[in-house]
Structures are given as C-alpha cells and as structure tokens.
Amino acid sequence: MKKKNKENKIILGTTVGLAIGTALGIALNNIAIGISTGIAIGAAIGLTMNTNKDK
C-alpha cells in the first residue's frame, strides 16, 4: 500500500512538472526542452514529497 502511494506522488509530481515544463517550453519557444525539464522537475518534486512524508 505504501509503495503505491509513493508511485502516485511521483506521478503527481511528474504531471505538475510536465505542466510547468510545457509552459516553460512555450515561453522559450522550445517545447521539447520544456517537457524534458518538466519531467526532471516533476520527478524531483515527487521524490521530495515521498522523502518528506516518510520522515
């Protein structure tokens, strides 16, 4: 159960990151860079949420 919760947070973080990345990509006029940056940001957000929750 706990593992699934972690996966959900990573997915949530990635989704948020994708949204940020897409907006960033449009702003920079390069969506590919924006999306890849967004995925990286999102994964970091998801992992941070997990770490904070576990402590």
Query: In whole numbers, what is the pLDDT of the chain averaged over residues?
Result: 77
Q: Give residue-wise pLDDT tens across range 15-37.
A: 887 888 888 888 888 888 887 88
- When divided into structural domains, the chain yields a total of 1
CB atoms within 10 A of CB 30: 13
Q: What is the domain extent for residue 40?
A: 2-54
Contacts 24+ apart (CB under 8 A), 35-41: 39/14, 41/17
Residue positions counted in the chain: 55
pTM of the model: 0.56
